[in-house]
Amino acid sequence: MKTKSLSSCIALSFFLLVFMGNVFSQTCMPCKMPFPWQYADAIIIDNSANPVTLTDYQVLLTYNTQAPIGAGKMNANGDDIRFTSNCSDTVYYWIESGINTPTTQIWVRVPLINANSIDTLLLYYGNPNATAFSNGDSTFMFFDDFSLPNLNLSKWQVQGNPTYSINSGILTFSGNSNWEYIRSTKVFNQKVVVEENHANGGVSTGLVLGYIGTHQRYSFRANGLNLSTTYDNDIIGGNAFFSTGYPAVPASNNQNLFYKYKVVSSINSNTITVDSYCNVTTSNCDNAVTALSTYTGSSFYVGFTSYNPSYTGYLDWIRVRKFSAIEPAATQGSTFLALPVVNLGNDTTVCGELLLDAGPGFTTYTWSPSGNNQVLIVNATGTYSVVVTENTGCKGTDTINIIVNPLPNAGIIAPSSYCTTSPSDTLGAITPGGTWSGTGIIDNINGVFDPATAGLGTHTIYYSVTDINNCSNTDSVEIDVIICTGITENNMGRLLSVYPNPSNGIINISFTENINNTILIQLFDVTGKEVYNKSVLKNTKILELDFSQIQKGLYSLRITTAEFSKTEKINLK
């Protein structure tokens, strides 16, 4: 299991720290903490003396919360405390007492504690925005600290007609001269530890253990200075003593004096058996194994009772947890250095390319598939990851999956010049369905250009298109509008045409006058790379070019003579 592999890793590091000089030096976290927690301590679970493997076992940890709270690393209320066995799973816990003290009492429900082994959890903290996660219901087999304003009837069944209320987290409970009681809806058929904290406003109140589905029960009630045990099978009138001398532990007779009790109980041969009954507050235990043999049954509930209104009980909390003959010990280990936090973001789909930024301040960056800078430009679909290193030597990593959709081809097919007297003309686009703009565009859907509307001069025309992936691209061309009378050498280059465009490979260049000198023909792809270069010496008005061996696509055709140079965009299909 994951718990074992992480435990082995941290436990080895812990022992190296302890036995090599008995000094806790800081080491890097063995795994990545959930963002944005910043700190982590090793919590050592010592089960080396126990031959039994334990699952979902409640372990008591005494932990110094005062130090990290005082250093500003932990929230003052401890709400950012989290436990994990592998940096990602959820380990439940309940803070019993002592937050912001050196002896904070925390119960942790450990998922797996291996037999005869030392396992390790991580306690991480340092998230100012974290909300409380301490939860007794998730930690124990049964739990109630009476934090709700009313009795939780999903946990308790009320027997008889008692008077009860909850104030400031204390259940106040009085019977009606019939030993009324409440009992848990959850029942138990294994050996468990029942712990509760209560005060007595007189005698005749206390803990109840009873058999499922019946009123057959035992009450551990205050009787003078000590507890006694009674039995009862109804909620009518009085009951009888099972033993006036058991358990021999002090009882509270003061409603302001709360005693914490710990009872180890089980079903043995269909009989409730108490292995030990302890007053934890006064450190008194009755360890005589006692079978409560008046009644029998297959499982038992826990509860709380009072005889009548003169004897009010005050129950602070009650819990039931698993039992082990040899209790594992939990201790606070070393503080780990948090791994560097690098966050590339969530998996995403982009158009064209994406700039990934691993963040500043690291000593090294190692990208996969390649790269060693803080940033990486991604222009292809794939999985990308980065490992960063801090000056402490600790490494952090993150991975992102990216789908890159290509930008649509927004290439424009248009003449480079028009006469002022030319009629309006429809421009072409490699990818249809876009919108046109610019001076002289009189139809922005169909791309109609009107030289008269544009007027004399050079005009920039734009075409924008969005594809089915919602990716957009824009291209532009310059179109000259000229007066076509009194032609001179300076504007000869403007009076040529290139056709057909688009073309299957054969391109014609038509000039208004014969060209009597060398013509340089160059072809450039969309990246600017020259893919064709040829010089032609002809006395002609029409020049035919064969580009059928060139890969299909959008190109720039440059025509250069001694008198002029002109570039046209062509589309080879």
C-beta separation of 114 from 47 below 8 A: yes
pLDDT of 512 reads 62
Task: Using the predicted structure, report yes or no on whether residue 98 has a pLDDT greater than 70.
Answer: yes
Name the average pLDDT for the chain: 89
For the ranges 5-9, 143-147, 220-224, 555-559, the lowest mean pLDDT is seen at 5-9
Task: State the CB neighbour count (10 A cutoff) for residue 145.
Answer: 18
pLDDT at 85: 87
Percent of the chain beyond pLDDT 90?
A: 67
Taking residues 317-331, what's their average pLDDT?
Answer: 97
Residue positions counted in the chain: 573
pLDDT of residue 392: 82
Alpha-carbon torsion 67, 70, 72, 78, what sign? Answer: positive
Considering only CA atoms, give the Rg of the chain: 42
* Per-residue model confidence (pLDDT) at position 45: 97
CATH topology match: 407-485 vs 491-573:
yes
> How does pLDDT run across 60-91, given as a tens digit for each residue?
999 999 999 999 999 999 999 999 987 778 89
Q: What is the pLDDT of residue 25?
A: 44
Pairing outcome for strands 259-268 and 284-286: unpaired
Quick one: which of 414, 179, 457, 190 has its CA closest to 320? 190
C-alpha span between 96 and 236 (Å, rounded): 37
Indicate if the pLDDT at residue 493 is higher than 90: no
Q: What are the boundaries of each domain within the chain? A: 2-136, 143-322, 348-405, 407-485, 491-573
In 416-552, where do the E strands start and end? Answer: 417-419, 425-426, 428-429, 435-437, 441-443, 448-449, 457-466, 472-482, 496-499, 506-515, 518-524, 530-537, 540-546
Predicted pLDDT of residue 289: 96
CATH architecture designation of domain 143-322: Sandwich (2.60)
Identify whether 502 is preceded by a cis peptide bond (ω within 30 of 0): yes
pLDDT band at 15 (very low <50, low <70, confident <90, very high): very low
pLDDT of 496 reads 74
pLDDT of residue 9: 41
11 pLDDT higher than 80: no
- Residue 251: is its pLDDT beyond 80? yes
Q: What is the mean pLDDT of residues 296-309?
A: 96
Is the confidence at residue 3, as pLDDT, over 60? no
Calculate mean pLDDT across residues 157-173. 96
Taking only the tens place, the pLDDT of each residue in 259-285 is 999 999 999 999 999 999 999 999 999
For residue range 167-187, list pLDDT tens digits in order: 999 999 999 999 999 999 999
Q: Interior CA angle at 361 toward 360 and 366, to 5°?
A: 75
Assess whether pLDDT exceeds 50 at residue 21: no
The fold for domain 491-573 equals: Immunoglobulin-like (2.60.40)
pLDDT at 417: 80
Q: Which of 9-23, 123-137, 139-153, 338-352 has the lowest mean pLDDT?
A: 9-23
pLDDT at 365 over 50: yes
Q: Is the pLDDT of residue 572 over 70?
A: yes
Neighbour count for residue 397 (Cβ, 10 Å): 16
Level-2 CATH architecture, domain 407-485: Sandwich (2.60)
**Can you spell out the DSSP letters for 45-64?**
EE-TT--S-EEEEEEEEEE-
The C-alpha atoms of residue 348 and residue 546 are separated, in whole angstroms, by 44
Whether residue 497 is predicted with pLDDT greater than 70 in this model: the reply is yes
Task: For residue 16, name the pLDDT band (cuts at 50, 70, 90).
Answer: very low
Q: How many CB atoms lie within 10 A of CB 229?
A: 23
Q: What is the distance between the alpha carbons of residues 144 and 199, in angstroms, rounded to a whole number?
A: 16
pLDDT of amino acid 399: 96
Q: State residue 336's pLDDT score.
A: 83
